[in-house]
Amino acid sequence: MGEPRDLERLLAGAEQAIPDGVLAEQLTKGRPLRVKLGIDPSRPDLTLGHAVVLRKLRQFQDAGHTAVLIVGDFTGLIGDPSGQSDTRPMLSPEEMETNAQTYLEQAGRVIDVGSAEIVRNSEWLGKLDMADVLRLTSSYTVARMLERDDFAIRYREGRPISVVEFLYPLLQGLDSVEVRADVELGGSDQTFNLLVGREIQRAYGQEPQSVLTMPLLEGTDGTRKMSKSLGNYIALTEEPDEMFGKLMRVPDELTGKYLALLTDAPEEPSLGPAEAKRAMARAVVDGLYGEGAGKKAEIAFDRVHRDRELPADIEELPILDDVVKDGRVWLPRLLVAAGFASSNAEARRLLEQGGVSLDGTPLTDPEAELQPADLRGKVLQRGRRRFLRLA
């Protein structure tokens, strides 16, 4: 538990270990460390960006330490202000609960949920009274809070900062007190919040946690942090074929970073860019779905992209009455029924952009109305990886 090789593995790929040398000292204590990771269920899907820090948590588990996963069903109502240029809208408890229910299953693809401590911070934050809140807020100053970059910029530019947003890092710090965290993990954009946690623990008479931050993973656009709201994400729930295809869209210059942060596979310098990306994509899919899954996904990818063949198994989509009017099918409504678009407006844009085809022929007219008999038995396709056979 305190071996030098443990420290080397736990620090591998990390952005910062704060304070310097403290984690090494903690590993010599001869007991399992309590390693905290909090994730707010602000959206229903975890992404490969979340997998980066989840993998680090798993490495602590493998080294014999206790993983403490906090589902932030209370802090998520506020929304983490980290990196935000405006006050975030508050989510409802119902939205939080719906999202939280999916998190453990998704996190279980990376960490050992069975041996982890799983808690929701509503268990203690929801019970705070005004005296508790006053004690917490007295532990930190407004001046210190305004040292934070995103708050400082918004204050300087006269943009609103709600008092609730000041509470967020304080509540996250109280989480560390409640679970008696020795170490807290997070993305590099969480550094301020994690360091506030050290101060809150000190104010409540605990030994301050050490902090280990991980680099942020850029999304498939290659520039911005992976985010569902930006549309550049790869979800942990993606099917292997879909995940492999999205990984192949990652810019070449990020192949090494994806390999290092999402897999244990070594980099092979002798490979060219295309083959290196394939090796990375196979390794990522293998890590989430088991050895051999990456190769199967690659074969399916090549069948569609390189060999221009249709997938072996294509799900059928019945043409139901709700997409038929006056004996004709309205295409935008059909795309919504197929799950290719979330609304008629999005479906119209998709058609106008040439993103849909029928048996290989592009469909570009959102006003087109076709006979059901002319559609049945044909393959409706969105992009390069989504197919449905109309029935």
pLDDT for 226 beyond 70: yes
What confidence tens digit (pLDDT) does each residue in 355-387 have? 788 876 778 888 877 788 778 778 888 877 788
SS3 (DSSP) at 390: strand
Q: Please give the structure tokens belonging to residue 290.
A: 């088991």
In the chain, how many domains are there?
3
Domain boundary pick from 281, 305, 329? 305
Residue 110 CB: number of other CB atoms within 10 A?
22
- Indicate if 128 and 192 belong to the same structural domain: yes
Same domain assignment for residues 179 and 300 = no
Answer whether 86's CB lies under 8 Å from 135's CB.
no
Range of the domain at 320: 316-390
152 shares a domain with 32: yes
Question: By percentage, how much of the chain surpasses pLDDT 90?
Answer: 51
H or E element: which one contains 66? strand 66-71
pLDDT in tens, 271-289: 999 999 999 999 999 999 9
Assign residue 342 the CATH number of its domain.
3.10.290.10
Q: Give domain status of residue 222, yes or no.
A: no
Q: Give 85-90 contacts, CB < 8 A, sequence gap 24+.
A: 85/150, 85/153, 85/154, 85/159, 86/154, 86/159, 86/160, 87/160, 87/161, 87/162, 87/165, 88/165, 90/164
DSSP state of 359: T
DSSP 8-class letter at 226: P
232 lies in some domain: no
- CATH code (residue 26): 3.40.50.620
Same domain? 273 vs 325: no
Domain boundary among 254, 276, 305: 305
- In the prediction, which pLDDT does 85 show? 46
Could you tell me if 46 and 39 are in contact, meaning their C-beta atoms sit under 8 angstroms apart?
A: yes
Quick one: which of 23, 102, 20, 12 has its CA closest to 52? Answer: 12
Interior angle at CA 85, CA 83 and CA 89, nearest 5: 95
Judge if 118 and 209 occupy the same domain: yes
Q: Is residue 226 part of a domain?
A: no
Q: What is the pLDDT of residues 12-50, one digit of tens each?
A: 999 999 999 999 999 999 899 999 999 888 777 889 999
At residue 2, the pLDDT reads 59
**pTM confidence score:** 0.76
* 324 has a pLDDT exceeding 60: yes
Do 78 and 199 lie in one domain? The reply is: yes
Q: Does 219 map to a domain?
A: no
Average pLDDT across the chain, whole number = 88
Q: What is the pLDDT of residue 68?
A: 98
61-86 tens-digit pLDDT:
999 999 999 998 888 877 666 655 44
203 and 295 share one domain:
no
pLDDT bucket at 309, cuts 50 / 70 / 90: low
